[in-house]
Structure 1
């Protein structure tokens, strides 16, 4: 993106007219017009003023390869590290919820507490999606990949006990005696199949979005 396009984008995104921008930079409106058309370039002082006014770096303004400050190597590296840490924290939370589900299912063996143990996981997924939609003003490959990984991991960590719970309820209508090992094998088989289906669906969804772009 050229400097002229960046100035136009920054001005419009901040709701400024050419006149208002010219007043803030102490230049003529014609100068702003020439900068935005690319027929003239702002000098060093003007570049610094634009940088401070819109809260962007001079590197972003002067480098045509950068579409936003997020593309700056150092900032991009820091953002990716932060995303990795967030993913680790979320997975740890999901593992803790998984352990809680294990306790309610195998130790307490209480249907009510079993249902309650699913609520934190649902809340975690809902909270993540809400924060992602609200906080991601610019969706890029890094954030999209992070979201895809999160949902793929959540699929494998979150589906076992809900599936086991549903199958146990269904089996309660089966009045003939059955082996516990058989039940576990059925649960595991269905869990593997459903998890694979959702994993492939997530992958296909993101591949389709990339093709559309």
Structure 2
């Protein structure tokens, strides 16, 4: 009885998300046959897969396992745009402080906004999903380091005593920043799929 109800719920939620059995199987790292068995009630997913199903379908584990067919979407995912927005605001504040005062000390105001935002997100959001944790890491990699990279490149350029155009420094900073950010993002993406 339970297997059939869970199977029906998986079918319903999969169709609502417009996912094929193959697509759902790829998201969960299982075979298409496993999804088919779950849906038919021939087998039930283990605990880890139930958790992943709830995340993929954006429903609570409770509503996935209970008999009520009205699955209440969780609020998970709604805070993520706010988090990224506040991180962007922190970056903009950093740029404004740098453009106005040319002081790395004042740039830290933007960093404080970004770091406090991440801390508040984690405190308020008791159990962030894997997807949310991934996006916190990625947004941190792209939105926090620009001025850190600029500062480090400026310090290294002290050893290059020749006069050079400002655009040269900008190009070097941009290249180093992009290499670091893209490299770390690729590493995070690989780890998230493992």
TM-score tier (shorter): 0.5 to 0.7
Question: 5 Å matches for 1:131-146?
Answer: 131=124, 135-136=126-127, 143-146=129-132
For the 8 Å contact 1:91–1:153, the answer to whether it is kept is yes
Q: Provide the secondary structure at the position in 1 that maps to 2:163.
A: coil
- For residues 163-203 of structure 1, the C-alpha deviation after alignment (integer angstroms, 9 at most, x for no partner) is 11221232234332221101110111111111111111111
How many residues were matched structurally?
A: 136
Structure 1 residues 166 and 150, CA gap change in structure 2 (3 angstroms): same
Match of 2:183 in 1: 197
RMSD of aligned Cα (Å): 2.9
Give the TM-score normalised by the residue count of structure 1: 0.54
- For residues 68-102 of structure 1, the C-alpha deviation after alignment (integer angstroms, 9 at most, x for no partner) is 3142664452x1xx333201111110111011110
Higher helix share: 1
Of 102, 105, 110 in structure 2, the residue corresponding to residue 109 of structure 1 is: 102
Match of 1:176 in 2: 162
Structure 1 residues 131 and 118, CA gap change in structure 2 (3 angstroms): same
Alpha-carbon distance in 1 for matches of 2:135, 2:69: 23
Shift of the alpha carbon at 1:159? 2.3
- For residues 27-49 of structure 1, the C-alpha deviation after alignment (integer angstroms, 9 at most, x for no partner) is xxxxxxxxxxxxxxxxxxxxxxx
For the 8 Å contact 2:94–2:107, the answer to whether it is kept is yes
For the 8 Å contact 2:60–2:72, the answer to whether it is kept is no
Alpha-carbon distance in 2 for matches of 1:194, 1:108: 27
Q: Provide the secondary structure at the position in 2 that maps to 1:117.
A: helix
Q: Provide the secondary structure at the position in 2 that maps to 1:83.
A: coil
Match of 1:153 in 2: 139
Shift of the alpha carbon at 1:161? 2.1
Q: Which has the larger radius of gyration?
A: 1
Alpha-carbon distance in 1 for matches of 2:76, 2:177: 29
Of 166, 170, 173 in structure 2, the residue corresponding to residue 187 of structure 1 is: 173
Alpha-carbon distance in 1 for matches of 2:63, 2:172: 48
For the 8 Å contact 1:163–1:187, the answer to whether it is kept is yes
Of 118, 121, 130 in structure 2, the residue corresponding to residue 125 of structure 1 is: 118
Shift of the alpha carbon at 1:67? 9.1
Structure 1 residues 73 and 87, CA gap change in structure 2 (3 angstroms): farther
Can you give the 5+ residue segments of structure 2 that lack an aligned partner in the other structure?
Answer: 4-58
